[in-house]
Structure 1
Amino acid sequence: MTSLIPHTSPHKRRRPLLVAAAAAAALAALLPAAPASAAATASCTSSVPYTSGEGGYDTYRIPAVTKTRAGTLLAFAEGRVGGAGDTGSIDVVVKRSRDGGCTWGPLSVVASGGGDTRGNPAPVIDPRTGRIVLLTSYNSGEVTEAQIMRGEATPEQSRRVFVQTSRDDGRSFSAPRDITAATKHTDWRWYATGPGHAVALTKGPHAGRLVVPANHSVAPPAGSPDTGAEAKYYGAHSLYSGDGGRTWKIGFVDASYDGVTNSNESTAAELPDGSLYFNAREHNGTAPGNRVDALSSDGGETLQRPYTVQPTLNEVPVVQASVLQLAGKRAPLVFSGPSVPTARQSMAVWASKDHGATFTKVLTLSQDKAAYSDLVQTDRRTVGLLYETGVSGTYETITFRRIPTDVIAP
């Protein structure tokens, strides 16, 4: 078991009743009653819900975690059948924990690839009903990401978007329902939901709205070689639903495609004032940094400014990451990701006391290899981090780490 390595920095930098009820329900979903065994969780530091090579899968990747209204933690992942690669036969799987992430129940398949690729889980709890809403991405197992990027896949083979719901606390899910027509522009090629938890808004005129951060790619401009060298043609966007996931719309679209900031895999958090903070992987653009961020004041429909580099996260390599706004008026915005600029290694946590303007590293979990991650607040005293890690290889396990909030926000 690795230890927490704390860091210090030298630079201390009249709504209708229905809406009010939705906001209250959303807050309750964030902070449910204490786990069934408080004594067990008091001494629990970490657990390993997924170990590659077990359960019929070669590799588990792409973690996402959320907490249900009943207080159950759901740890989603991709179960990759034939290897660690991003294409081929891939299922979306889930495990449930009723004790704050100390132990996990059996693996369940949420969306079976059946030889095709299903992944990029983006779960969120509908604050009005308590239902679990899950968006995922799909493509045929016969095509690779590079082929999709070059426009060589048919619409049926290419990336599509699906939604599923659960009414029984994550024990079972509805069949995947295709929502591609409402969520993907016809000229977009690559596409990914999240990955990582999505957001249910609790404040303001859009309280109850579900917002899913996502990304896409487009073809190169006329006259440029169509080689699948996607770095210059990535953009982030948002999806939102005002009816609990039944219908969806595309919100903002980052369509600069200028090669300077290439916003890719995205994550979001609702700030205390009700605005949305978006943070994205910067995918090999010319801007001097690997993380970019933006703000929305209208529930993800538009951005207040374009994505720009977040310089206080320059330690993070090119990788997916997670953000989470802790509960409380003065609680920080939290960020997780590896902390070696040139390698997926040394998972760490940063905190922002100025709503994402700047971040300060507060702890490093270990020096082991580490990559994708997702954050969840398990209760008032604990933050959970679900992340890929290993000693010899980066994707040996998906581990869950319980972190005291007073370590993050002393």
Structure 2
Amino acid sequence: MNGACEQSVLWTSGTDGYDTYRIPAIIVTTRGTVLAFCEGRRNSRSDTGDIDMLVKRSADGGRTWSDQKVVWGDAGNTCGNPCPVVDRETGTVWLPMTHNLGIDHEPRIIDGTSEGTRTVWVTASEDDGRTWRELRNITATAKRPEWTWYATGPGNGIQLSSGRLLIPCDHIEAGTKRYYSHVVYSDDHGETWRLGGSTLVDQVNECCVVELENGDVVLNTRNYDRTKRTRQVTVSGDGGMTWQDQRHDETLIEPICQAALIRYPDKGDRLLFSNPANREERRNLTVRLSGNGGRSWLHERVLHPGPAAYSSLAVLPDGTAACLYERGEDHSYETITLARFDLEWMMDG
């Protein structure tokens, strides 16, 4: 792209039968197909109600896209929180998600007064997102009975150098109502899923994950500790089974919002991070580049200075980076937009 950044709209709220499109996720398959996921919210912007999981496919590096397809819809209920991961050994795309009754709102689920609860599900595709397996409920092994609220991702999971599939998640404890981040994992190519470790300190939830060149796994979390309006990070040396050294990253400011984090393949510990870089509002969607595993962030570029919220990152087959993010002019949820940019453009900032 020679130092360029190109942006295009993938979803526009109020079209194709959906009031709002939210919660983007993007991945690249082993064959080079780009898959973009989001929630299609039929009747309102609300986080609950009649919500479908949607996907679009691109065979040319994100330049053109298929029509959207419903991966999961459940007659008025909430199917959401996409967190896809690609198994590089088998080529299978795994898609963990969450579900709740459309009549159950988050506060009631947290209080334990809802009709149902949050459940954890997974499906998979062996043909680059054209078709999807029958959904499988993995709640029994992915969620503790004493947890109420639960979310997968949203964003993307990773495959560790060991072959383990790792999904960043979060939960709320019944009784204490404390927020924690955690991971679930599969060591058998997605056939079974189990709980990994949770963060040692609470007041964190939606999170993203990378593996560094030395094998350490870094979890980067949304932060509810308002004494410092910055992201929190924690590190695992055992593939996500335990976490330590939880701290704030003073550079990564946030207004309480989801973020995205990926590691460039074959480029050491070069990381790319995106979020609305603002301490007060969801706006100023910024991408940052680190060359040392997140110890410092030397380059930053603004994709959109106006209203913006959730995002997801990927590296496309030609080495170009992609950021799929919520963007608008009056509010953050008017579109889901794809930005494609190269390292030359990124390092000019």
Aligned residues of 2:269 and 2:293 also touching (Cα < 8 A): no
Residues 4 and 341 in structure 2, CA contact (< 8 A), matched pair in contact too: no
1:304 is matched with 244
Are residue 97 (structure 1) and residue 42 (structure 2) matched?
Answer: no
Which residue matches 1:188?
147
Cα distance in 1 for partners of 2:180, 2:195 equals 13
Normalising by the residue count of structure 2, what TM-score does the alignment of the two structures yield?
0.95
Larger radius of gyration: 1
Structure 1 position 111 matched with structure 2 position 72? yes
**Counterpart residue number, 1:224:** none
Of 203, 216, 235, 1:295 maps to 235
Match of 1:218 among 159, 165, 173: 173
Partner of 2:285: 347
Higher strand share goes to which structure? 2
Paired residue type of 1:73: V
With over 3 angstroms needed to count, the CA separation of the structure-2 counterparts of 1:356 and 1:81, relative to structure 1, is same
CA deviation after TM superposition for structure 1 residue 363, in Å? 0.6
Change (3 A) 1:302 1:380: farther
Match of 1:63 in 2: 24
CA deviation map 1:75-106 (0-9, x unaligned): 00000011001010101000001111111101
Alignment of 1:349-388 (within 5 A): 349-388=287-326
Alignment match, 1:32: none
The answer for unaligned runs of 5 or more in structure 2 is none
Aligned-pair distance for 1:274?
A: 2.1
For 1:133 and 1:330, locate their aligned partners in 2 and report how far apart those are by CA, in whole Å.
26
What is the CA deviation profile of residues 61-82 of structure 1, one whole-angstrom value per residue up to 9, with x for unaligned ones? Answer: 0000000111111000000011
Contact 2:262 2:272 in 1 (8 A): yes
Q: Does 1:234 align with 2:179?
A: yes
Query: Is contact 2:218–2:235 with CA below 8 Å preserved after alignment?
Result: yes
Cα distance, 1:219–1:361 mapped onto 2, change above 3 Å: farther
Alignment-derived partner of residue 133 in structure 1? 94
The corresponding residue for 1:279 is 220
In structure 2, relative to structure 1, the CA distance for the partners of 1:131 and 1:160 (3 Å cut) is same
- Quote the residue 2:131 is aligned against: 172
Decide which moves more: 179-188 or 43-52: 43-52
Kindly state the Cα deviation for residue 42 of structure 1 after the two structures are TM-superposed: 10
1:162 maps onto 2:121 in alignment:
yes
Q: Normalising by structure 1, report the TM-score.
A: 0.81
Structure with the higher helix share, 1 or 2: 1
Q: Distance in 2 between matches of 1:43 and 1:409?
A: 11
Q: Secondary structure at 1:175's aligned position in 2?
A: coil
Give distance in 1, aligned partners of 2:5 and 2:294: 30
Bigger shift: residues 92-101 or 212-221 = 212-221
Work out which of the residue numbers 328, 332, 338 in structure 1 matches 2:276.
338
Structure 1 vs Structure 2: percent identity of aligned residues?
40
Deviation at 1:44, TM superposition (A): 7.9
Alignment-derived partner of residue 82 in structure 1: 43
Q: Does 1:45 align with 2:6?
A: yes
Structure 1 gaps, min length 5? 1-37, 222-229
> Shift in Å at residue 165 of structure 1?
0.4
Alpha-carbon distance in 2 for matches of 1:272, 1:287? 32
In structure 1, the residue corresponding to 2:255 is in which secondary structure? Answer: coil
Deviation at 1:286, TM superposition (A): 4.5
Offset, 1:255: 5.1
Question: Would you say 1:142 and 2:103 are equivalent positions?
Answer: yes
User: Aligned-residue CA RMSD in angstroms?
Assistant: 1.8
1:220-269, Cα deviation, whole Å (9 max, x unpaired): 44xxxxxxxx5xx1000010001111101111112544xxxx11101001
Asked if residue 326 in structure 1 is aligned to residue 281 in structure 2, the reply is no
Q: CA deviation at 1:408?
A: 2.7
Query: Aligned pair 1:249/2:208, yes or no?
Result: no
**Partner residue of 1:265?**
206
| Residues in 1 aligned to 2:192 and 2:108: alpha-carbon distance in whole angstroms | 30
Alpha-carbon distance in structure 2 between the residues aligned to 1:160 and 1:240: 16
1: CA distance between counterparts of 2:152 and 2:337?
22
Q: 1:378 to 1:140 in 2, by over 3 A?
A: same
Separation (CA, whole Å) in 1 of partners of 2:297 and 2:112:
38
1:406 deviates by 2.0
1:209 equivalent to 2:164? Answer yes
CA contact (8 A) 1:91 1:118 kept: yes
For residues 268 and 164 of structure 2, the distance between their equivalents in structure 1, rounded to whole angstroms, comes to: 24
Distance 1:343 1:408 in 2: 24
